[in-house]
Structure 1
Amino acid sequence: MFPFLTRPRIIFCAPESSTFFSSFLAHPTARPKTPSPVNQLLSSNMVAHHSFMLLSLAALALGSPFGELQQRAEPRIQQRAACAGNTATTRSKWCDFDIKSDYYTGQHPNTGVTREFWLELTDSVKLAPDGVPRYAQAFNGTVPGPTLVMDWGDDVVIHVTNKLTQSINGTSVHWHGLHQKDTVLSDGVVSVTQCPAVPGTTQTYKFKATNYGSSWYHSHFALQAWQGVFGGIIINGPASANYDEDVGMVVLSDWGHKTPDELWHQAETQGPPTLENALINGMNVYGAEGNQTGKRWETSFESGKSYRVRLVNTAIDTHFKFGIDNHTLTVIALDFIPVEPYEATMINIGMGQRVDVIVKADQAAVASDFWMRAIPQSACGTIQMAKNTRAIVHYGASKGVPATTGHTYVDACEDEPLEKLKPIIRIDAEEATYQQLKIATAGVNAKSVFRWYLNSTTMELDWSKPTVSQLANNASVAFSNSNAVMELPEADKWAYVIIQTNFGVAHPVHLHGHDYSVLAQGSGAYQPGVTKLITTNPMRRDTAILPAAGHLVLAFKTDNPGAWLMHCHIGWHTAQGFAMQFVERRSEMFSKNIINNNDIEGLCEPWRTHVGKHNIKLEDSGI
């Protein structure tokens, strides 16, 4: 069984107090001069060399026995003084680098700064983000967890303490979209790059922020991320258009009044369940007009200024279209890829994706209050309150309720059009050295539960025997079919993967350790010699949509030795085996000391003991 929240041995107990609160504790030299916004740890003007931060419980006080979330403090992100060249009128500059610096070839800062963070993962966190009570697991007591803010070129050290003593869950944390260049053991994927960390232990992740932009971190242990175990990441760096202020992360998520663990049996026997609500920055209302619980997230603009908004979709099974009534969005980045700016009124954002936009506050003549909308698309998940996922943008000191009308849109599970997406850093896709065609299908296995298959293989990994452990114990190990491994032995070659499906379900496909070039994306089957491939500066992403009954052709350069997972980012589908992995340049993992058995066994030996003690059984794909 899943070692989750609904089994008798791991039922949540209510904490003694139904109120939790936050304190921002930092090394004296690292404390901001102004109060820290809730859920944001600002990196501005903090330290010249080391930054020490303790991320503690955030200020979301709840009444007894449950209460509504209090309005979050305004999450403005302050710019660090370290890169004086980056101003409101020169956002393309960053210290001695700029928006065209090719970080793929090592053109990135080395700041000499170590950002150090502490995260605590706990059970029995009582939440009512839409006024309806539910227990969750959470980092530092909040959903979303604290936003981690760092600068391009920083060294990052993050200590994650597992305090899931009631649920006896293991855990890991994946830093979504970070390349983890030569640091595969910090990618945070159970069964691939590590064994789960057991309750009562602290795992330390170390990596360098070689790319920049907006992202998120989340558990990569079964469905734990959607129990509430996620938060935002901001890596300050250059931008492809100017703006005045940084609003920070705007986190889009779906939300059930039952936990994903409680819904898992339904998901694997009947199909994806309907969820009650969706949230913006952890808040929304629920219920019929006039009888609603909860509160909406609110922010304010000053007329005439421009604002950077960092969107991330953390949902388990919801594709959003996002817009702000009467306003035009200027898109400047998708995932971690800066693009030539383009304008849109509504944008697509699939699960795991990020989109950075700039909004000009130029509508004061129209109204003082506007709806911000995140609209779940009906063909990609089902939300009861689908038309009510809204936040409020006020102009100035106004606190009114908006009466504005939304932009028109077509309900569809799709990416932003490829023809609009022009990466600033130009990279052409070269001829394929490695190529595989993967047909995605779904079926019922011998246990009468749904599983997803790529070429008749559904991923089944073992928490106790991660890929890196198998390699460390036997450099020439031959992986079983259920490990779903594609070998990429040569350096700096190009791998092409063609994924297609006849099923009428779209899938957001996420690759670890790399961005990939999107060479083709469309309906119907891929046809060699007929399907047009974009090889001249194609859009790069780490998450792109495989269209329903369609195809996705992706390509990446083998420039990062490691074991890298690729999977559908619909949480149910990941758990049901829609995944494969790339073992890239395995010999160099040893010659460069990228993996070593002592580090791996430091987690695996306690985990094996924990599994034996509690008789924990694996019932999903293992990732």
Structure 2
Amino acid sequence: MGIISRFALLGALALGAIQVQAAPLEASNLISKRCVNSATDRSCWGDYDTSTDYYNEVPDTGVTVEYYFDLVNTTASPDGYERQVLLINGSFPGPTIEANWGDTVVVHVTNSLTNNGTGIHFHGIRQNYTNQADGVPSITQCPVAPGESTTYTWRATQYGTTWYHSHFALQAWEGIFGGIIIHGPATSNYDVDAGIMFLNDWSHQTSDALYTQAQTGGPPTLDNALINGTNVYDNGGSRFEMEFISGTKYLIRLVNGAIDTHFKFSIDGHNITVISMDLVPIVPYTTQVLSIGIGQRYNIIVEADQATADYWLRAIPQTTCSDNDNTDNIRGIIRYDSSSTSDPTTSAYTQTDDCDDEDLTNLVPYVSKTVGSQDDGDDLAVTIGKVGNLFKWYLGGTTMAVEWADPTLLQVYNGESNWADQSGVIELATADEWAYFIIETTNTVPHPIHLHGHDFFVLAQGTGTYADTAPTLNTANPPRRDVAMLPGGGYLVLAFQTDNPGAWLMHCHIGWHTSEGFALQFVERYDEIKTLIDYDSLNDTCTAWSSYQTAVGLEEDDSGV
């Protein structure tokens, strides 16, 4: 069975262009439904709406959407400079996975790479009781060996915007990534769904080639950044362009897919209405400049309410936490007149260079949740050191080093529970209890903290030490998401409920830092995990990987995740 296409296309998809779609809810699904999702009422979704508690109630569509991914070695020139890349089905970014809220998603992955294992992680997808589909080598699977295939199956219990990417070494930033759109209701009305807009930093060397420098001398300066897979560099490349029709409200799905860059996003002369963070719908708020950390997503609405002209769209790397040689030239063009070929002359909004999250008071989840109490929270210090001449990051005193060929789920299936110290395991045995974690650092480097398998609640975030600051924890509908910034020289207090058995990674989403050990894993409800494992699939992948690793003499040189 091929991809089930239920999305009417209003425009062709091309490199650097946004795919524009009509309202996605199937007409056949509207019979006897109480409301129709439309430009005048985006809050409704058949028998459901934005007030539906999607953690506990999900549409039963009975629909399966199916995708086939083939990973290949090739070359590409996204900014006019040709280099080696790894791509899915030959496209950059990779194909967008689309589904409706409640659908089942099946993704078949064939590894046709010449000398890389792989594993595809569906970032932000909670994987309720489907931990094995989380796609993390060394944790939920062995890497898929060259010439081998695997299949991931999961339910779209959330709705909104996210992305998938390889979780094998630094492979995501060689080109193994793409978008995920789960169509559902929205907390503000719009006319046109303009699709995903990726923001990525970019180098003319491969990430693997740069890793030696990152390990020995710190993060390298990157050459450029891309907007939806394209930008200019010197005299080459081309800018991303998008046409606005006056009076139209556009939904733009922003994704920061960078390896090491925090962006500030804006469109000259236009306001931005923010309606979701990660996969959590929020009470809408308006801003002119949006701060988006690595791995984060924001759904925004932009109204074409300005004079007919050309306007700069800007993705500005924040030099507080990264270095880029093309900082002032990462721009696209919004055209009200599609026949124009002129560069805009518009001016940027004033913005402060920092790597902070959006103001927490603006990030109010539309479906309200209260965090339960806990007597004490684990304090996880973030530090950095060297092993030999190589930088290693530590979280809670451990720098992660796990084995590709012996993933956590295989250990659980085999009844093992004596975890190696470097596996970074924290066991959470009790169902439906609240777990609090204080993550803090005296280092000045900010970090985007990402948790698999859960949306976490941000109870506090700030600079200084947690003990000295003694912040009041916000437990009354605090921001809820899957990536939040740990401020440089500061703290981040997170909470989540143990409602999803499995082995779940938590890590810094700066690519270099993950590879340098900045990670731990929660083994949640150990006694329930084994019955969720498809042993034959897990064992087949591991057997093939072990044979390949032995045959080529491949040794791990990073954290394993």
TM-score relative to the length of structure 2: 0.96
Whether 1:111 aligns to 2:58 is no
Distance 1:427 1:31, change over 3 A: closer
The one-letter amino acid paired with 1:533 is L
Distance 1:32 1:556, change over 3 A: closer
Deviation of 1:73 after TM superposition, in Å, equals 4.6
Alignment of 1:398-437 (within 5 A): 398-399=339-340, 400-432=342-374, 435-437=377-379
Distance 1:240 1:523, change over 3 A: same
Whether 1:310 aligns to 2:259 is no
Residue in 2 that maps onto 1:492: 432
The one-letter amino acid paired with 2:362 is K
Whether 1:388 aligns to 2:335 is no
Whether 1:131 aligns to 2:131 is no
Residue in 1 that maps onto 2:400: 459
Contact 2:143 2:545 in 1 (8 A): yes
What is the DSSP-based 3-state SS (H/G/I as helix, E as strand, rest coil) of the residue aligned with 1:551?
A: strand
Task: Give unmatched runs, 5+ long, in structure 2.
Answer: 31-35
Deviation of 1:602 after TM superposition, in Å, equals 1.4
The one-letter amino acid paired with 1:436 is D
Match of 2:451 among 507, 511, 531: 511
What is the DSSP-based 3-state SS (H/G/I as helix, E as strand, rest coil) of the residue aligned with 1:527?
A: helix
**2:83, 2:110 → 1: CA distance?**
23
Contact 1:516 1:556 in 2 (8 A): yes
Distance 1:191 1:416, change over 3 A: same
Alignment of 1:197-346 (within 5 A): 197-287=144-234, 292-346=235-289
Contact 1:177 1:335 in 2 (8 A): yes
Whether 1:145 aligns to 2:94 is yes
Aligned residue pairs total 553
Residue in 2 that maps onto 1:571: 511
**1:176, 1:396 → 2: CA distance?**
36
Distance 1:196 1:26, change over 3 A: closer
Contact 1:119 1:161 in 2 (8 A): yes
**1:362, 1:565 → 2: CA distance?**
43
**2:376, 2:137 → 1: CA distance?**
26
Deviation of 1:252 after TM superposition, in Å, equals 0.2
Whether 1:537 aligns to 2:477 is yes
The one-letter amino acid paired with 1:317 is D
Q: Which string of whole-angstrom CA distances, capped at 9 and with x for unpartnered residues, describes residues 113-138 of structure 1? A: 10000111001x21111111111001
**1:412, 1:33 → 2: CA distance?**
40
Deviation of 1:465 after TM superposition, in Å, equals 0.5
Residue in 1 that maps onto 2:33: none
Residue in 1 that maps onto 2:301: 358
TM-score relative to the length of structure 1: 0.87
Contact 2:11 2:21 in 1 (8 A): no
Contact 1:433 1:495 in 2 (8 A): no
Residue in 2 that maps onto 1:602: 540
Deviation of 1:74 after TM superposition, in Å, equals 4.4
Residue in 2 that maps onto 1:194: 141
Contact 2:17 2:242 in 1 (8 A): no
**1:521, 1:355 → 2: CA distance?**
19
**1:360, 1:488 → 2: CA distance?**
46
Distance 1:32 1:91, change over 3 A: closer
**2:358, 2:5 → 1: CA distance?**
39
Q: Which string of whole-angstrom CA distances, capped at 9 and with x for unpartnered residues, describes residues 341-392 of structure 1? A: 000000110000001100010002xx41111000000012111001110011
Contact 2:16 2:229 in 1 (8 A): no
Contact 2:76 2:82 in 1 (8 A): yes
**2:91, 2:518 → 1: CA distance?**
29
**1:126, 1:368 → 2: CA distance?**
36
The one-letter amino acid paired with 2:226 is L
**1:256, 1:207 → 2: CA distance?**
33
Alignment of 1:544-563 (within 5 A): 544-563=484-503
Distance 1:409 1:164, change over 3 A: same
Contact 1:373 1:389 in 2 (8 A): yes
**2:452, 2:167 → 1: CA distance?**
12
Deviation of 1:37 after TM superposition, in Å, equals 2.9
The one-letter amino acid paired with 2:172 is A
Residue in 1 that maps onto 2:40: 89
Q: Runs in 1 of length 4+ with deviation above 6 angstroms?
A: none
What is the DSSP-based 3-state SS (H/G/I as helix, E as strand, rest coil) of the residue aligned with 1:613?
A: helix
Deviation of 1:435 after TM superposition, in Å, equals 2.6
How large is the RMSD of aligned CA atoms in angstroms? 1.6
Residue in 2 that maps onto 1:448: 389
Percent identity of equivalent pairs:
48
Deviation of 1:95 after TM superposition, in Å, equals 1.2
Deviation of 1:544 after TM superposition, in Å, equals 0.2
**2:62, 2:376 → 1: CA distance?**
38
Contact 1:177 1:215 in 2 (8 A): yes
Deviation of 1:100 after TM superposition, in Å, equals 1.1
Task: Give unmatched runs, 5+ long, in structure 1.
Answer: 1-24, 39-58, 60-70
Distance 1:185 1:36, change over 3 A: farther
